[in-house]
Structure 1
Amino acid sequence: MKRGLLALSATAATLAVAATAVIYGGLYDISATDQHLAPTYRILDVAMRRSIARRAAEIVVPPLDAPPMLERGLSLYDAHCVQCHGAPGVAPEPFALGLTPAPANLAHTAREWPPADLYWVVRNGIKMTGMPAWQFRLAEADLWAVVAFVEKLPELSPRDYDELTAALPPGRAQEMPVRNRPDPERGKTAMQQYACVTCHRIPGLVGPNAPVGPPLDGIGSRTYIAGVLRNEPDNMIHWLRAPQDINPASAMPDLGVGEQDARDFAAYLATLD
């Protein structure tokens, strides 16, 4: 047994040295023009499917065949999903064609995946694929409406899709409901979903630590926001939702942060003291 443990330790050390050499030697080609190795793709695909199935196991699927829900789902799909996934007779946008891995053909996905799994992905997204977590952009009813429409995709011909979308109103998202109490933990997750780490160093969030904007360490104990506003919850919410209202010269962009997300952002930032 002792020899076996020594052999395992030696193997692990060898693999660690090899991995370090590959990473720090820049040997692994990360370009989008270099496709995954077939075993890598299969391993990641199996891991993804098992992860989703585990987390979606307890989701209760509502009725999905009501015409208003399907019409709403079609409108939202045409506004937010077709750019990457395409539709019957409709190609994805050029930028999506070069993504690695390529966005799934959802007509096939709808045949293979149960609705609960589809909902989980629409709601939570998938890291390392470009698929966002739509829970921060669509209301709960809209998430299910998208799932309902995706379930119908395998039945549609290109002509069907063209006729259905011809007279559609814009797929505007419903206003997200506002809870009575902000949720700082959700705010932390939401800040990651709004890509705040691309400009700020934020404790608790993993990202590039790009010093474009000021670091947010200790922001909860600072006296002022952007040097002009008292650091109070309502002021922080205003700043997060409309920074140019406060300082027109600020490089802080208007990210379209919803009321609830801004409340949760502010609650998390208040903990960083």
Structure 2
Amino acid sequence: MIKVIWTILTLMVAGFAGTAAFVYSGFYNVAATEQHTPPVYWLLQTVMNRSVAVRARDLEVPDLSSDERFDAGLQLYQDHCVQCHGAPGVAPAPFSLSMTPVPPAIVQVGLELSAAEIFWTVKHGVKMTGMPGWSFKLTDEEIWDIAAFVVTAPLLSPSQYYELAEIEPDRPGLVENEGADKTSGDAEMGRVALRQYGCIACHTIEGITGPNAWVGPPLRRISERKYIAGVLPNSRENLVHWIRNPQGIDPLTAMPQLGVTEEHAQDIVAYLYSLGNGER
């Protein structure tokens, strides 16, 4: 028994010493330009999901079906939430696209979380995500209004959201390439750019750690596809055009304008074309 106790104590001391050495070594990169490692990301995501689910399960959800709640929630969402979570066909504000972890797309939130979980998250916020708690800024009734809108958001098309929110969609004409070589682009920089422009909020992307996103199709084996988004023949030049100006090509697409530069679009295409069977 004494040997067992000493073994346990030794392991505890060794574990504490190893943890302290890791922390003080500065080995773990906290830069927001670098994603968490898959185990760390999984741990943080799982802890957050379970924490919210447990704390929200006993909340009494009021009737959220009235038009008045939806309209009030839409206005509150525009005032306080769209900057980070976007909306159907509307991109989040540029500052939020490179947050780590990236704020989830509101369409996925509305389908994956219950109204009670949305209420709890908005009211209390989430540590280490940038999501603030709104309990001192909004009343409970206002937060329920937001929940009423969010659970309905996945049912809205971009054109419906534009009409309800009384906003004009940003649909400039086709963005021309600025003279870059069609085969140019740094694939490794493209891997970083896909995170920094928030693409992982909607797409699962091979080789990039991120949420289990399914708002947009998974981005893998792009070089083998015949068409881009079902509207453009697949080529490097067309994919650059699509990334930079999707709504200028297809006004009905829910993919928003993200302000991707020519150089970064070339880098992103270089990375996407390196997936699957390699360079085309």
For the residues of structure 1 that align with 2:82 and 2:38, how far apart are their CA atoms?
27
Partner of 2:160: 160
Residue 116 of structure 1 deviates from its aligned partner by: 0.7
Q: Would you say 1:134 and 2:144 are equivalent positions?
A: no
Partner of 1:231: none
Q: Would you say 1:32 and 2:41 are equivalent positions?
A: no
RMSD: 1.6
Partner of 2:146: 146
Q: Secondary structure at the match of 2:135?
A: helix
For the residues of structure 2 that align with 1:142 and 1:95, how far apart are their CA atoms?
25
What is the TM-score when the length of structure 1 is the normalising length? Answer: 0.59
Partner of 1:100: 100
Residue 37 of structure 1 deviates from its aligned partner by: 1.1
Partner of 2:115: 115
For the residues of structure 2 that align with 1:5 and 1:40, how far apart are their CA atoms?
31
Query: For each residue in 1:70-124, what CA deviation from the matched residue of structure 2 results, as whole angstroms up to 9, or x when unmatched?
Result: 0010011011100000111111111101111110112112111111111100111
Partner of 1:16: 16
Q: Secondary structure at the match of 2:87?
A: coil
Residue 45 of structure 1 deviates from its aligned partner by: 1.3
For the residues of structure 1 that align with 2:112 and 2:68, how far apart are their CA atoms?
25
For the residues of structure 1 that align with 2:140 and 2:75, how far apart are their CA atoms?
15
Partner amino acid, structure 1, of 2:75: S
Residue 8 of structure 1 deviates from its aligned partner by: 2.4
Q: How does 1:1-273 map to 2 (within 5 A)?
A: 1-166=1-166
For the residues of structure 2 that align with 1:95 and 1:42, how far apart are their CA atoms?
24
Query: For each residue in 1:158-196, what CA deviation from the matched residue of structure 2 results, as whole angstroms up to 9, or x when unmatched?
Result: 1111111117xxxxxxxxxxxxxxxxxxxxxxxxxxxxx
Query: For each residue in 1:201-252, what CA deviation from the matched residue of structure 2 results, as whole angstroms up to 9, or x when unmatched?
Result: xxxxxxxxxxxxxxxxxxxxxxxxxxxxxxxxxxxxxxxxxxxxxxxxxxxx
Residue 18 of structure 1 deviates from its aligned partner by: 1.6
Q: Secondary structure at the match of 1:136?
A: coil
Partner amino acid, structure 1, of 2:58: E
For the residues of structure 1 that align with 2:31 and 2:52, how far apart are their CA atoms?
27
Q: Secondary structure at the match of 2:41?
A: helix
Q: Secondary structure at the match of 1:72?
A: helix
Partner of 1:197: none
Q: Secondary structure at the match of 2:10?
A: helix
Residue 2 of structure 1 deviates from its aligned partner by: 3.4
Partner amino acid, structure 1, of 2:136: F
Partner amino acid, structure 1, of 2:127: K
Q: Secondary structure at the match of 2:152?
A: helix
For the residues of structure 2 that align with 1:137 and 1:95, how far apart are their CA atoms?
22
| Unaligned stretches of 5+ residues in structure 2 | 168-280
How many residues were matched structurally? 168
Percent of aligned pairs sharing the same letter: 41
CA pair 110-4 structure 1, distance change in 2 beyond 3 A: farther
For the residues of structure 1 that align with 2:158 and 2:4, how far apart are their CA atoms?
61
Partner of 2:236: none
For the residues of structure 2 that align with 1:8 and 1:160, how far apart are their CA atoms?
62
Q: Secondary structure at the match of 1:13?
A: helix
Residue 132 of structure 1 deviates from its aligned partner by: 0.7
Relative contact order (alpha carbons < 8 A, sep ≥ 6): 1 or 2 greater? 2
Residue 57 of structure 1 deviates from its aligned partner by: 1.8
| Unaligned stretches of 5+ residues in structure 1 | 168-273
